[in-house]
Structure 1
């Protein structure tokens, strides 16, 4: 009986430990009680490196573009990498990639695009051209002639436009899980969004559970295996939406949905180009990646098995290794 009791107790402990471990790897069903509003300028969010600002005047408004400028931590190679983020994110989520590239000798610029993160949130007409021009302005401000440009998700579209408009300033183009791969093959959109979409016309959201579930669905469908640290992205977006600035932030997101494809740019881009991503990013994604790489004159494709939309968060070592390999060419 003593042996049986011991085995039963051991089994109970094992099951209990497994249950606790599973609970730790799954997001909570409801937003934690201590979660509150987060300003849309992310004043409460610490970035991994000091944030600097470029001031510009656009459409008659004074604006600030936030960026991190990280110097090489390994032997400097004299080259620069410029990182830009996806629709739902900000520059700080590139932290591990910044560290890996700086260790390889690169100077790394990671921006918060105008309208996102710690950058200004002006209600002005937005366009792909505007964001590409802002990237060039940051480079001018820092005295950088050329850079390898890397964009994730919507940022992949942005760096495509930069590489088309500024070929002499683009050493390499990298699109990480870009959206719009299956869009139209004709001319890419050029005109900014204007009109009613620019007006924040509602009040902050108050249904905490509904807001939480919406952002949790977004984050969980982007990854194959959930990690507790991913919850921070849910907290920030949840906090933005229940803050006083929520309507403004959402109006700006709407104003940046200016088109769904950069396919019209790709035949005109001469820089070495890499289309890379987690192969579990939806049905047809691997084929779309290979097709995009075939359209780019100097394109190549690389798919990361068992990874979804955010490889720099899900499998940073794998992504960073491929970036270092590609940029060295």
Structure 2
């Protein structure tokens, strides 16, 4: 009897742990109408914007998102695309069209603190919290398992989602994710959130464009890229400017202090890692001593290294591309992703 009691207690603990592992935000979905200037962004999205309303950290918040139906025979699967720090859901536009054209339902959320989602005055940002919110959005939509695609900071978030909700991720695609290395461990000096906020407040249209041209497009520029500069600039100088730059300063702190690089060996999901070999994004590299900065952001080295740590990983390297292959070479990028998903 004592053995049975012990087993029963163990099962209770196990089920409680499972329930906790699947815990997520709860809320409701609204299809609007919404103001053109939703949470400080007046950028026009390529698909209708919906809102997931929920309570988090004792405040009411909104996550804006696009929910795109398949444009051919549905394959019964849902793809979720997660944007990077200087990006929003619309930067996935070409990828969304390609996935929908392959039969996927596509959900493209804007994270809290970004784009058309809430910019809270007070919020403890963490990768766990943001993915807790995202899992809650999917639950509210009735979406179970997903194919998860994350770019840049979104790749860091996608890694956390796969660790936090492993049973709900069928495939994982990481696109030039930040966090392939532990920046502080490699010598990046810590900067305060106040310092980060001051740096965010100094952004201008020209500064954003110059950074994107150098880092995302390896010095190249096409007129079609300007729309993404405009999209971001509108938020920096929008109606929620003060809250946005504060949130972005907090996000920089998150990336520095909450590394995922030590957990790639724990990712159980079948993974495709895509990197541009000319990508040199490294959070903190611009304020690090030269000898530290020189060690950071070598995606041509980090890609093979990290893919070797993930138990079931396929690596694809674009030799001549930078940080945003889905924007600089969309057709090639889409082929790589769809071919891999079709395997």
Structure 1 and Structure 2 fold alike (TM over 0.5): yes
> 1 CA distance for matches of 2:206 and 2:200?
19
Cα drift, residue 259 of structure 1: 3.0
SS of residue paired to 1:230: helix
Matching residue of 1:25:
none
1:32 matched to which residue of 2? none
Q: Is the 1:54–1:65 Cα contact (8 Å) retained in structure 2?
A: yes
State how many pairs are aligned: 280
Name the residue aligned to 1:95.
93
Match of 2:210 among 192, 217, 241: 217
* Residues 166 and 220 (structure 1), Cα distance of their counterparts in 2 relative to 1, 3 Å cut: same
1:266 pairs, out of 247, 264, 267, with 264
Secondary structure of residue in 2 paired with 1:297: coil
Cα distance, 1:173–1:84 mapped onto 2, change above 3 Å: same
Note closer, same or farther for the CA distance 1:198–1:132 as it changes in structure 2 (3 Å cut). Answer: farther
| Contact 2:41 2:234 survives alignment (8 Å) | no
1:311 correspondence with 2:309:
no
- Within 5 A, what are the aligned runs for 1:1-329? 41=39, 43-122=41-120, 123-183=122-182, 197=194, 211-221=204-214, 222-224=216-218, 225-257=220-252, 258-260=254-256, 261-282=259-280, 284-329=298-343
Compare CA radii of gyration and give the structure with the larger one.
1
1:236 offset after TM fit, Å?
3.0
Whether the 8 Å contact between 2:197 and 2:248 is mirrored in structure 1 is no
Q: Distance in 2 between matches of 1:271 and 1:202?
A: 36
SS in 2 for 1:114: coil
Contact 1:114 1:121 in 2 (8 A): yes
Q: Secondary structure at the match of 1:302?
A: strand
Q: 1:49 to 1:219 in 2, by over 3 A?
A: same
Residue 21 of structure 2 corresponds to none
Q: Is the 8 A contact 2:148 2:158 kept in 1?
A: yes
Deviates more, 1:53-62 or 1:228-237: 228-237
Whether contact under 8 Å (2:200, 2:249) holds in the other structure is: no
Deviation at 1:250, TM superposition (A): 1.1
The change in CA–CA distance for 1:137 and 1:172 in structure 2 (over 3 A counts) is: same
Partner of 1:6: none
Displacement after TM superposition at 1:40 (Å): 7.8
Q: Deviations over 1:76-113 (max 9, x none)?
A: 11111100100011001100000000000011111101
TM-score (norm 1): 0.79
Alignment check: 8 A CA contact 2:272 2:314 kept: yes
How far off is 1:45 after superposition? 1.2
1:233 Cα offset (Å): 2.1
Question: Gapped runs of 5+ residues in structure 1?
Answer: 1-37, 187-194
RMSD: 2.6
CA distance in 1, matches of 2:198, 2:212: 26
CA contact (8 A) 1:174 1:275 kept: yes
